[in-house]
Amino acid sequence: MDTAEIHRRFLAHFERNGHTVVPSASLILDDPNLLFVNAGMVPFKPYFLGQETPPFERATSVQKCVRTQDIEEVGKTTRHGTFFQMNGNFSFGDYFKAGAIELAWSLVTGSVDDGGLGFDPDKVWVTVLPSDAEARAEWKRVAGLPDERIQDRGLEDNYWNMGVPGPGGPCSEIYIDRGPEYGPDGGPVVDEDRFLEIWNLVFMQEELAAVRSKADFDVAGPLPKKNIDTGMGMERVAYLLQGKQNMYEIDQVFPVIERAAALSGKRYGADHGDDVRFRVIADHVRSGLMLIGDGVTPGNEGRGYVLRRLLRRAVRSMRLLGFEDRALPELLPVSREQMERSYPELGSDFARISQVAYAEEDAFRQTLAKGTQIFDLAAGEAKQSGAPSLSGQKAFQLHDTYGFPIDLTLEMASEQGLVVDEDGFRSLMAEQRARAKADAKSKKGRHADTAVYRDALDANGPSEWLAYTTLSTESVVQTVIKESGPAAVVAESEIAEVVLDRTPFYAESGGQNADAGVLEWDGGRAEVLDVQRPVRGLVVHQVRVLAGELAHGTPVHAQVDPQWRLGACQAHSGTHVVHAALREVLGPTALQSGSYNRPGYLRLDFGWSNPLSPEQMHDVEQAANRALREDLPVSAAVMSLEKAKEIGALALFGETYGEDVRVIEIGGPWSRELCGGTHVAHSSQIGTVVMTSDSSVGAGNRRVEAVVGLEGFSYLARERDLVAQLGDLLKTPSEDLGDRVSDLVGRLRTAEKEIEKLRAAELLSSVSDLAARAVDVAGTAYVGHVADGLSAKDARTLALDVRGRLDPARPGVVAVVGTSDGKAACVVAVNEAGREAGLAAGELIRPAMAALGGRGGGKPDVAQGGGTDVAGAPAAVAAVRDAVGSAA
């Protein structure tokens, strides 16, 4: 039975039994504690925690999951993987233990012809908590299991909680006996390789007051409503039903291994080391496919870093198998073919997915070419030093300068028998992050502890948010928060955060900057600097008090700056227009991956590998401004997420959405996107769109920037003034400026070439004279020369030419220091006779660089360096002379 069929049967079984089928949530959810969704119940947490009322009493899903804590172990065993699917059924105060056990038993042992999975009932074992007599009795009643196949396991195995106060309860796990060839008899308490767990039924029945560990917690009392949460491992069920040994051999995974084997010429199963690489490739390619499908893009932080690491490990594993060409274009389509039966959106979105993945591989291939040379040099130096380790500084340099992930450095070091100072590396990374956080904090000034915001929400309830309908409200200050925590009053000139009972201010979200404006009260006034939503439901205003004191409980008049809001609406609607124009010009794969807009300005990131040509930038700008001229209507409507998808509304990849979403249309289907921002009423109100730049923001991603509204007209006016100034300066009409400037540039380049020829001739004329003035230093012909105005390139040319004029039968060394623009460039060249005598340019240049206050190095025949101490030039050539004498 293939995996897609198991997927279908699971959902169909529970749908027949009154469950609402809930599509898999994105791997990215709005949960600050989770990098990715890592369990099937995660999307339902708000219901189990009582934060939201579930819209159904019974639900079922097949949830995409990613766990990343064991990436290094993937492939080394057949149990570790990053992407997996969790089949689950959920009851919110509806059925409980009896119902969960009946539903599970009927699916697991039901006949294939009747829609079941067809496991032999005699092969099923279960475990229960010793104190859970009810679960044991239900297994005997429903399944007729004998006592010996219902085994007791303690709290560590058979009790579930979230690690924090909240719901908890005993579990009952279902195991399948794989047979004596997999281990000894005696059930799962004896051997979990032979007896493989496939399903965990969680009976949430208790409220936990404190959780110190999985087996150490305090029970506050029973839950007011008992719930069911179950998780069946899709991949485990698949390899049991398909007669395979492990998850890597199932139909959704193994074809990638087969393709990798064909490309590399290696055979899976022949060598353990190669098998590890094959499994890494299969797992990481599938995980990368699913993560990009849900909007993750490669980067250096958080989710993006995990994706980058997965893709690069897969590519490098192919290289270690001997395949040097681009690997992902060969492997990713294979994974898509297997996965799109269960997730059809992978097929329709594959152009974008593949574009992101292939661009990342191309970038990594360049990184490998540069970074590997640096790594090999550092590794060689480490081995020569007698201490076989790489410093944290060197690992950080590889990461920060050459894009080498630390895990890659660790792997490569291990292959060469070296260790890496990980503590030193992580200390340097922590310093870098601390600097970044300090910078961000100085710009935002937000309180770091979200507990103060949750307390404010609990005390007063959610903020009444009126940004869509008004620019002013009469409000009351409910909470005041300073850097030290909650406070009673904000004095004049102080900056603090305040929560109002109602607010017209737009809080920064969806790429749109927060509103500006003022709070006014009897005897006082404050400017609003920033508006954020640190926790769901709460709007927090950062304010600076300009006059008077602002206290808890003060009635205030909250007023948004109308010109600021108009500019914000123009910029946000302009972002949608530019997005639609990009897709019109470049095609449907040019999908937005991020944006930012403030009054008068917008930037938009989108999936695209190549720089936009001037013609493409012009066409995008033209398409955008046509939409403005046509005065397209702009409308907002709230609808279900499914309805929004049906009508083709575009969602921002990486964002999470509730069941009801807001759809913004500009000109109907021309631009139809999910969006929570503020907008103009007609496209003409945007004023104008002026495209100003196109740049790269990572592999497979571009960024365009534009100005709109009055700022757009001002930008064009400045361009007009600049053209007029150039015309006056060059005495040329504006329409002829292009030809005139082109002519001037051509003449300038010709002049530069002539100057270069004269400089070269001057250098050559001095070569013979310098060679003739060589002095004897311990049997070596030595030339030392300092020249003002000599570039590094010219210094190298001169040194090599002088070396070529020295007697080849005699050891010779030339040192040239050129000074220019406050910097010094030093070149040391040694002829063949000198090298045979033991002289090396790379060694001789070191004392010179010490005199110049810089660094340098090179090969035995020629070395080069630069420094900032121009006054040390004479001492530098003298130091080389002394080094020649010492070496002799």
Angle at 566 between CA 563 and CA 569, to 5 degrees: 150
3-state SS class at 76: coil
With a CB cutoff of 8 Å and minimum separation 6, the contacts of 715 are: 690, 692, 707
Q: Which amino acid is at 441?
A: K
Helices and strands (H and E) in the chain: how many: 25, 35
List of long-range contacts for 111-116, beta carbons under 8 Å, 24+ apart: 112/1, 115/9, 115/12, 115/13, 115/16, 116/9, 116/13
CA distance 181 to 184: 8
DSSP state of 18: T
Closest C-alpha among 865, 842, 870, 840 to residue 854 = 865
CA dihedral (230, 231, 232, 234) in degrees, to 10, reads 140
- Which residue's structure tokens are 């003034």? 721
Establish whether 682 is an annotated binding residue. no
Please state the separation of Cα 643 from the chain's center in Å.
30
**The 3-state secondary structure of 437-497, one letter per residue:** HHHHHHHHCCCCCCHHHHHHHHHHCCCEECCCCCCEEEEEEEEEEECCEEECEECCCCEEE
Assigned token pair, 690? 């002026």
Q: Is 572 a known ligand-binding residue?
A: yes
Single-letter code of the amino acid located at 765: S
Q: Is the dihedral of CA 230, 231, 234, 238 positive or negative?
A: negative
Secondary structure E strands in 98-165: 124-128, 150-152, 159-161
> Taking a C-beta distance cutoff of 8 angstroms, is the pair 180, 193 a contact?
no
Dihedral Cα 299, 301, 302, 306, nearest 10 deg: 50
Nearest alpha-carbon partner for 704 in 585, 599, 620? 620
C-alpha angle 378/379/384, rounded to 5°? 100
Cα separation, 352 vs 702, whole angstroms: 13
Q: Name the helix (H) or strand (E) containing 624.
A: helix 614-629
User: In the numeric block, which tokens belong to residue 38?
Assistant: 């890592």
Q: Please choose, from the candidates 817, 830, 816, the residue with its C-alpha nearest in 3D space to the C-alpha of residue 862.
A: 830
Dihedral pair phi/psi, residue 187, rounded to 5°: 85, 180
Nearest to 648 by CA among 680, 674, 666: 674
From the list 589, 531, 536, the residue with the least C-alpha distance to 565 is: 531
Euclidean distance between CA atoms 35 and 42, whole angstroms: 12
CB 90 within 8 A of CB 40: no
Tokens 């010009």 belong to 585
Strand ranges (DSSP E) for 721-760?
A: none
CA 871, CA 882: separation in Å to the nearest integer?
Answer: 19
Structure tokens at 438: 């300090």
Best CA proximity match to 249, nearest among 276, 282, 274: 282
675 is in an annotated binding site: yes
Angle (CA) 335-338-342 rounded to 5° is 120
Residue among 129, 252, 233 at smallest CA distance from 175: 233
The span from the CA of 552 to the CA of 478, in Å, is 6
Q: Is 120 left (phi over 0), alpha (psi -120 to 50) or beta?
A: beta
Binding-site positions for Zn(2+) read: 572, 576, 675, 679
Binding-site sequence positions: 572, 576, 675, 679
